[in-house]
Structure 1
Amino acid sequence: MRTFILACMIFISGIVSGQQNGLNKIKEYDLSNIWTSGGTTDIDETDFFTTERPDFRGFIGDNYQRIYIQIDEVVKDHLNPLIYYVRGYSEVKGNRCSFLGKIKIDSAQITERGQIFEGADYLVDMNKVTHRGTVVCSYQFFENRNQKWTGFFSGQLRTQFYLTTDGQIKYDAIGGFSDSYMNNAYIGAWTSYSSGNSKTCNWGEFRIPESGDLDIGSGDFSPTPKYIENGWEEN
Structure 2
Amino acid sequence: MNKILALFPLLFLALSSFAQTTNNSIDKTVEYKKLDFSPVFIGDEFYSDNRREKYNRVEPIGYFGGNYQRVFVHFISVIQDQENPLEYFVYGKTKLKDNVSVFQGKLAIDKIIEFKRHEFPEFNRGEITGKYIFFEDTKNNGSGKFEGQFTSSWLQNEEEKVEYDGMMLAADGFSNNQFEGVWISYNSGKEYICNWGDYRIPNSGDLDNGAGEFFPSKEYLNKGWQTYLDQYGDPSEAKTKRARELEKENWW
Note if 1:27 corresponds to 2:33.
yes
Moved over 3 A (4+): none
Partner of 1:181: 174
Tell me which amino acid in the other structure corresponds to 2:204: S
Q: Distance in 1 between matches of 2:133 and 2:99?
A: 20
Tell me which amino acid in the other structure corresponds to 2:71: I
- Secondary structure of the corresponding residue to residue 41 of structure 1: strand
Unaligned runs of 5+ in 2: 1-22, 229-252
Instruction: Calculate the TM-score normalised by the size of structure 1.
Output: 0.81
- Secondary structure of the corresponding residue to residue 191 of structure 1: strand
Q: Distance in 1 between matches of 2:206 and 2:118?
A: 34
- Secondary structure of the corresponding residue to residue 141 of structure 1: strand
Q: CA deviation at 1:127?
A: 6.4
Q: Which moved more, 1:212-221 or 1:95-104?
A: 212-221
Q: CA deviation at 1:33?
A: 1.9
Note if 1:99 corresponds to 2:103.
yes
Q: How many aligned residue pairs are there?
A: 205
Q: Distance in 1 between matches of 2:173 and 2:88?
A: 28
Partner of 1:10: none
Q: Distance in 1 between matches of 2:162 and 2:102?
A: 29
Tell me which amino acid in the other structure corresponds to 1:189: V
Q: CA deviation at 1:173?
A: 1.3
- Counterpart selection for 1:41 from 34, 37, 46: 46
- Secondary structure of the corresponding residue to residue 196 of structure 1: coil
- Higher-Rg structure is 2
Unaligned runs of 5+ in 1: 1-14, 117-125
Note if 1:90 corresponds to 2:94.
yes
Distance 1:67 1:74, change over 3 A: same
- Secondary structure of the corresponding residue to residue 205 of structure 2: coil
Q: CA deviation at 1:158?
A: 0.4
Superposed CA RMSD = 2.1
Distance 1:178 1:127, change over 3 A: closer
Q: Deviations over 1:146-199 (max 9, x none)?
A: 113110000001000122342121211122122211000100000011110001
Partner of 2:165: 172
Q: Distance in 2 between matches of 1:170 and 1:32?
A: 8
